[in-house]
Amino acid sequence: MLRLAHVDSFYGRSHVLHDVSLDVPAREVTVIVGRNGTGKTTLLKSLMGLTDKLTGQIAFEGREIADQPTFRRARAGMAYVPQGREIIADFTIRENILLGGFASPGSSRAIPPLVGVLFPYLMENLDRPGGVLSGGQQQQLAIARALAANPKVMLLDEPNEGIQPSIVEEIEKVITRLNREFGLTIVLVEQNISFARAVAHRFAMMEKGRIAVSGPIDALSDDLVHRHMAI
Amino acid sequence: MIDILFIGLSLGSILLLVSLGLAITYGSMGVINMAHGEMVMLGAYTTVLCGKWLGANLFVAIPIAFLVTAAIGFAIERVVVRRLYGRLLDTLLATWGIAILLQQAVRLEFGLSFFGIHVDGLGPGLQNVAVPTLLQGTVAVGAVALNSYRSFVILVTLVTTLATWIILNRSPVGMQVRAIIRNPHMAAACGIDVKRINSLTFAFGSGLAGIAGVMMSGFKSIFPDMGTPIAVDGFLVVVAGGLGSLSGTVMSAGMLGEINGLIATATNDTIARAVVFGVVILIILLKPKGLFSFKGR
């Protein structure tokens, strides 16, 4: 579904991603793991066209998108749930969710039923500002916003970072359901190896801006984790 | 006393029309548009040309001036400003250049004066617009007689401000504008065509300045350099009111207009202007983010 070939990505003059090639098959979860500062977030940003410069090829459903601006990628069916969630604090929950809808032009500007199924709490508080929500609820809101785009692939950047443990489990369940029940293709940046193993079909281990190892999730051995992620 | 406050209110209204556009382009997009005053000037000249060439009065000039200045604003954004986002000083210089270009285009009658062709209504001299008879004289409100034209200006400002508020807060386009103000990257990742919306925003802000120009033409003589001091006033209002705050701009325009009106009546225009400058300097010293900026930028 999503294929990167020899992608190099830059912020200003700093060269962050080096020769990254990766296949993201449809209807699967691909997890990106690695230490902090190895380029996992940059990889997702590169997919969305949010870095300053990029060379190499990115094919989405067979179409080359590496030279497309961010909003076209979003409209092609890529939804982004960034690190730190980046919801808009003084927009209502409703507005925050509908914001995602601009990626599916021509759609009736309504909240998709799936959001109600997954996040009943958000549906009960649509007119409250997004800023009053807790970290975990904001994360749910960011996922709801991505779902409003009716995406083909969802890019999730450390969805469980800085979230109270009670909600972590809920969000893990949601991610699993989105893939298993609703067939959504997911690229997930995740530090928690046990969750990564539970949810993902494939993995890519990053180190120093490159993909050190990648393959089916069964190949993500303790030895590999120890070698690339131990501090 | 009421008539003095009323004069202040009408001054504030013009200020508000000028600064609404600035509040959107400067406060929201981070572009200091030095050519904003020239949009006011072009709006005023549109009124002149409408009168001379179409025989149309000030009422007809309002929508025409809005469209003309919006189209010019759109072109400026597309050709120049778009390439300079995030480079504050460069936009400042480039739009200043555009301002001079526009002034000279009017003064030299688009360059036709070199060939001995004269366009009636343009050129270096002063132009004046007749206020429609309907707006001459006064209207009686209770015991007070209010100047009709000033009342009209206040009414137009009210309608325009309300329309701007509704567009910003109740329409999908407005929601996209507000999203871009707060987080342009995330807005793009949500499928918003940031460049296109910015062009429209810039055009809309310019169009508002054009309407201000039409209103101004009923008060004052029109000449090619008239825009510069107006743009300065507009920036004062936006800075004093707080960046990116529409309500702040409204309050600050009303306040500065009233101060100007009150002092000008008690003393004269020059002292009034000095006092307004003084007040704004004080505001910036005491509250650098502006009086009504609820959220920091």
Kindly state the average pLDDT of the residues B196-223.
93
**Opening angle at CA A109, ends A108 and A111, nearest 5:** 105
- B183 interaction partners in chain A (CB closer than 8 Å): 86, 88
Q: State which residues of chain A have pLDDT below 50.
A: none
Strands laid side by side in the A2-11 sheet: A14-24, A2-11, A53-60, A63-64
Of B239, B207, B236, B224, the C-alpha closest to B99 is: B224
Answer whether residue B294 is part of any domain. no
CATH number at residue B86: 1.10.3470
For B173, nearest residue in chain A (alpha carbons): A102
Does A145 contact B190 at a Cβ distance shorter than 8 Å?
A: yes
- A103 interaction partners in chain B (CB closer than 8 Å): 190-191
Does A50 contact B188 at a Cβ distance shorter than 8 Å?
A: yes
Answer whether residue B232 is part of any domain. yes
CB pairs under 8 A between A and B: 61
Domains of chain A, by residue range, sit at: 2-82+152-229
For A72, nearest residue in chain B (alpha carbons): B191
> In which band, very low, low, confident or very high, does the pLDDT at B297 lie, cut at 50, 70 and 90?
very low
> In which band, very low, low, confident or very high, does the pLDDT at B241 lie, cut at 50, 70 and 90?
confident
How far, in Å, are A118, A167, B48, B79 from residue A170 at the CA level? Answer: 10, 5, 66, 49
Residues sharing a CB contact under 8 Å with residue A213, sequence separation 6 or more, in sequence order: A204, A205, A219, A224, A228
pLDDT in tens, B76-127: 999 999 998 878 889 999 999 999 999 999 998 888 888 888 888 888 888 8
| Rounded Cα–Cα distance for residues B217 and B58 (Å) | 9
- Torsion sign across C-alpha atoms A99, A102, A104, A106: positive
pLDDT at B27 over 70: no
Tokens found for residue B44: 């005023």
Residue A109 DSSP code: S
Name the percent of chain B lying above pLDDT 70: 97
> In angstroms, what separates the C-alpha of B205 from chain A's closest C-alpha?
23
Answer whether residue B126 is part of any domain. no
| Rounded Cα–Cα distance for residues A221 and A208 (Å) | 20
| Rounded Cα–Cα distance for residues B97 and A139 (Å) | 46
pLDDT in tens, B37-55: 999 999 999 999 999 888 8
Does B188 contact A98 at a Cβ distance shorter than 8 Å?
A: no
| Rounded Cα–Cα distance for residues A103 and A35 (Å) | 32
Q: pLDDT value at position B28?
A: 66
Q: How many structural domains is chain B composed of?
A: 1
- A95 interaction partners in chain B (CB closer than 8 Å): 175
For A45, nearest residue in chain B (alpha carbons): B189
> In which band, very low, low, confident or very high, does the pLDDT at B56 lie, cut at 50, 70 and 90?
confident
Partner B, chain A 36-55, Cβ-Cβ below 8 Å:
48-50
- A74 interaction partners in chain B (CB closer than 8 Å): 188-191
pLDDT in tens, B245-287: 788 889 999 999 999 889 988 898 899 999 999 999 999 899 8
- B193 interaction partners in chain A (CB closer than 8 Å): 69, 71
Residues sharing a CB contact under 8 Å with residue B67, sequence separation 6 or more, in sequence order: B207
Does A104 contact B191 at a Cβ distance shorter than 8 Å?
A: yes
A109–chain B Cβ distance below 8 A for any pair:
yes
Answer whether residue B291 is part of any domain. no
Does B190 contact A50 at a Cβ distance shorter than 8 Å?
A: no
Q: pLDDT value at position A204?
A: 96
For A151, nearest residue in chain B (alpha carbons): B190
Q: pLDDT value at position A47?
A: 96
A144–chain B Cβ distance below 8 A for any pair:
no
| Rounded Cα–Cα distance for residues B35 and A216 (Å) | 59
Tokens found for residue B291: 């009086």
Does A90 contact B295 at a Cβ distance shorter than 8 Å?
A: yes
Mean pLDDT of chain A: 93
- Chain B positions with Cβ closer than 8 Å to A: 172, 175-176, 178-179, 182-183, 185-195, 295
| Rounded Cα–Cα distance for residues B195 and A71 (Å) | 10
- A99 interaction partners in chain B (CB closer than 8 Å): 175, 179, 187, 190, 192
Closest partner residue to B176 among A90, A102, A104, by Cβ? A102
Does A86 contact B190 at a Cβ distance shorter than 8 Å?
A: no
> In angstroms, what separates the C-alpha of B190 from chain A's closest C-alpha?
5
Mean pLDDT of chain B: 89
Instruction: For B127, list phi and psi in degrees, rounded to 5.
Output: -120, 150
- A109 interaction partners in chain B (CB closer than 8 Å): 172
> In angstroms, what separates the C-alpha of A70 from chain B's closest C-alpha?
6
Residue B291 DSSP code: T
How far, in Å, are B12, B156, B236, B243, B248 from residue B16 at the CA level? Answer: 6, 11, 11, 14, 11
Closest partner residue to B191 among A50, A88, A102, by Cβ? A102
> In which band, very low, low, confident or very high, does the pLDDT at B294 lie, cut at 50, 70 and 90?
low
C-alpha dihedral (A137, A143, A149, A151), degrees to nearest 10: -170
Closest partner residue to B188 among A71, A91, A98, by Cβ? A71
Answer whether residue B293 is part of any domain. no
Kindly state the average pLDDT of the residues B161-178.
92
Query: Domain A2-82+152-229, what fold?
Result: Rossmann fold (3.40.50)
Identify whether the C-beta of residue A28 lies closer than 8 Å to the C-beta of residue A179. yes
> In angstroms, what separates the C-alpha of B295 from chain A's closest C-alpha?
10
Q: Which domain holds residue B275?
A: 2-114+131-286
